[in-house]
Amino acid sequence: MVAYQVGVWYRSSVEEADRAGVDLMYETNLFGPIALIKAVLPEMRARKSGAIVNVSSIGAASGYYASTKSVPRRTPSTRPTSPVTRTRPATS
């Protein structure tokens, strides 16, 4: 099982946003989890066992931050080739 919680929050209006701050959010919040999943998924598929747990936050509801969190929340996109990657939303 792999559990992760990752997040960088860059608060800014769209017109005042600094590209470097927005890029850091995407690199950390979106591409970081994708790299992690790509690293562990082949072994999980080979074993036909495993789980990937994403711990997110309520802050993932609006703005730039929300857009960086949308793909990790939708990890089921890894689903087609193996039951190993079944996911379900966490409840709080």
Q: For the chain, what are the domain ranges?
A: 2-85
3-state secondary structure 49-92: CCCEEECCCCCCCCHHHHHHHHHHHCHHHHHHHCHHHCCCCCCC
Can you point out the beta strands (E) in the chain? 2-4, 52-54
- pTM beyond 0.75: the answer is no
Query: Residue 38 corresponds to which tokens in the numbers above?
Result: 């790509």
pLDDT score for 71: 55
Are the beta carbons of 10 and 68 closer than 8 angstroms?
A: no
pLDDT score for 62: 63
pLDDT score for 78: 52
User: CA 83 to CA 79: how far, in whole Å?
Assistant: 7
Which CATH code for domain 2-85?
Answer: 3.40.50.720
Per-residue pLDDT of the chain (92 residues; tens, 9 = 90+): 888 777 888 888 888 889 999 899 889 988 988 899 899 999 999 999 988 888 777 666 667 777 777 655 555 445 544 444 444 544 44
